[in-house]
Structure 1
Amino acid sequence: MKNIFKKYIPAPHTITEHRWISKLGPKIKDPNLWHLNRRSVSYGILAGTFCAFIPLPIQIFFAIFACFFIRGNLPVAVASTWISNPFTYLPLYFFCYEVGAWLWGFPVDSTGKPIQIQFDLILSDFQLFIHQLGNLGWKAMGPLLLGCFIVGTLTAVGCFIVIRVLWRVHIYRAWNHRREKRFNKKKW
């Protein structure tokens, strides 16, 4: 399992010597942030996957700072933030909004009715259309953030558990393979 990650992750010195990354100080050169083991990779996945659901374009920086505190693998965390990318933003955040709206309640106007956007106003009364869109945007922010937190937490914990289990299965199989090899060697 370690070899799979080593194959795609660049060497730590090539990253830490980059002019922008070196500004993070000596903490970025901590060997625990670059070490490939079950603990660091699973915590890197945890940090990166959770930060992928933050509806801001600076998710990678949040993942880096999370790795400083939980000692996760930095390259794995940065790579796992790409769960949300320009191709997946719309379905991902729509799903998060739906989860948040289901838990929180749909955004409603002052009369208690769900807010509806009248798209036919784009041509006739653009200012009213923008007002409706802005009204929906502020009222939809609560359910979106709640949904992102819930879905991000569940996804991050699920990925954390899957990585831990897969790594353990890989180790178990490697032990069995070595044991069989020793047993077959002794037979001859």
Structure 2
Amino acid sequence: MNLSRLQKFYYLKFLRIKGDPNSIAWGSFIGAFIGVMPIMPFHSASIIALCILTRNSTMAGLLTSLAVSNPFTYIPIYYACLKTGNFLTPYEMNWDRIRTILDILISGN
């Protein structure tokens, strides 16, 4: 399946979501909000739980999360978060420091 066909498939799937516009909008908001949070294994579970609790469109939330947090958008989003964090806080995080922290976490010391 080529990329343009996949894009059209998800676009049409999003257009066919049943529900009132308010519910779909709130479901999309929840999906986008959870989608940019760094809780990778819990995205879907969090979106489903929040959409059920608030009685909003679960499918809109999941589709929006898929659009926001996919392998093509991870790197730009986290790079923007890194730059924003370096600007707003007095700490400076760079790739050498990240590598040192990852080496410590992987080695278990």
Q: TM-score range by the shorter chain?
A: 0.5 to 0.7
Q: For residue 134 of structure 1, what is the amino acid of its counterpart? A: T
**Hey, what does 2:75 align to over in structure 1?**
90
TM-score (norm 1): 0.41
1:101 to 86, 92, 103: 86
Is 1:64 the counterpart of 2:48 in the alignment?
A: yes
Structure with greater Cα Rg: 1
The alpha-carbon distance between structure 1 residues 55 and 97, as it changes in their structure 2 partners (threshold 3 A), is: same
Q: How does 1:125-164 map to 2 (within 5 A)?
A: 133-135=99-101
Is 1:78 the counterpart of 2:52 in the alignment?
A: no
| Aligned pairs, number | 91
- Residue segments in structure 1 that go unaligned for 5+ positions in a row: 1-6, 12-33, 108-113, 118-130, 139-188
Offset of residue 56 of structure 1: 2.9
Compute the RMSD of aligned alpha carbons.
3.1
Residues 7-61 of structure 1: per-residue CA shift (max 9 Å, x gap): 515x9xxxxxxxxxxxxxxxxxxxxxx7511210111011000011112323122
**Hey, what does 1:53 align to over in structure 2?**
36
The alpha-carbon distance between structure 1 residues 80 and 136, as it changes in their structure 2 partners (threshold 3 A), is: same
The percent identity for this pair of structures is 22
TM-score (norm 2): 0.66
Offset of residue 73 of structure 1: 0.4
